[in-house]
Amino acid sequence: MQIIAGIYKNKRIESPNDAHTHPMGAREKNALFNMLTPYLSDATVLDAYAGSGALGLEAMSRGAKSCVFVEKSPKVAKTIEKNINFIGENVVKNTTIIIKNIENFCPKQTFDIVIADPPYDKFNQINTAKLADFTSVGGILAISYPKDSEINLPNFEIISSNTYAAARISVFRKK
């Protein structure tokens, strides 16, 4: 796995050796970040269900100013920490790793961009609504989810939505 664009382009990052994580494919990640590019400059980002941290690190590479990674597994969070340290000091200073289920995460702030690639077998509307609460007014919520699932976000407008094999990636803006 590697960062695909920005100042850390081509830096290789590790993927956790864990059956419960599923790294987003390069095609889908590229499509997601093509949708997010206009919003990344100096953004505060939440990488929910962080796994390797690849999505948050990609956001930082492309101009986000900070990122909070939320990952429930301490073992998987060690991979995020290793990847952050490998990328460099600027990333280390501007990131936080929270080891907690997203359901129990209570940030003291909202975020300009919330990125979520949850395990598809655990995808549900309740967690999606919680992610919406973490998004600033005018902010962006980007979610990868099973293409047959529905998302109902009353205070959001859809900016973009595309299907890739069994996945749908949708980007919403909070009104």
CATH code assigned at 119? 3.40.50.150
Query: What's the confidence (pLDDT) of residue 21?
Result: 67
pLDDT of residue 5 exceeding 90, the answer is: yes
Mean pLDDT of 102-128: 86
Q: In this structure, is residue 20 part of a structural domain?
A: no
Cβ atoms 100, 70 nearer than 8 A: yes
Using CA atoms, how far residue 45 sits from 60, 97, 165, in Å, is: 8, 12, 26
pLDDT of residue 10 exceeding 90, the answer is: yes
Q: In this structure, is residue 8 part of a structural domain?
A: no
Among 143, 159, 162, smallest CA distance to 151 is for 143
pLDDT of residue 120 exceeding 80, the answer is: no
Number of domain units in the chain = 1
Query: What's the confidence (pLDDT) of residue 169?
Result: 93
Q: Which domain holds residue 83?
A: 26-174
Cβ contacts of 70 within 8 Å, gap of 6 or more: 46, 47, 48, 49, 50, 98, 100, 102, 105
Q: In this structure, is residue 100 part of a structural domain?
A: yes
Query: What's the confidence (pLDDT) of residue 19?
Result: 61
Q: In this structure, is residue 168 part of a structural domain?
A: yes
Mean pLDDT of 118-125: 76
Higher confidence at residue 122 or residue 86? 86
Q: In this structure, is residue 15 part of a structural domain?
A: no
Q: Write the pLDDT tens digit of every residue in 136-146.
A: 999 999 999 88
Q: In this structure, is residue 9 part of a structural domain?
A: no
Among 60, 43, 36, 22, smallest CA distance to 112 is for 43
* Share of residues in the chain with pLDDT > 90 (%): 61
Higher confidence at residue 13 or residue 125? 13
pTM of the model: 0.93
Q: In this structure, is residue 11 part of a structural domain?
A: no
pLDDT of residue 121 exceeding 80, the answer is: no
Q: Write the pLDDT tens digit of every residue in 43-102.
A: 999 999 999 999 999 999 999 999 999 999 999 999 999 999 998 877 778 888 999 988
Mean pLDDT of 136-164: 92
Among 32, 48, 26, smallest CA distance to 122 is for 48
Cβ atoms 135, 116 nearer than 8 A: no
Q: In this structure, is residue 13 part of a structural domain?
A: no
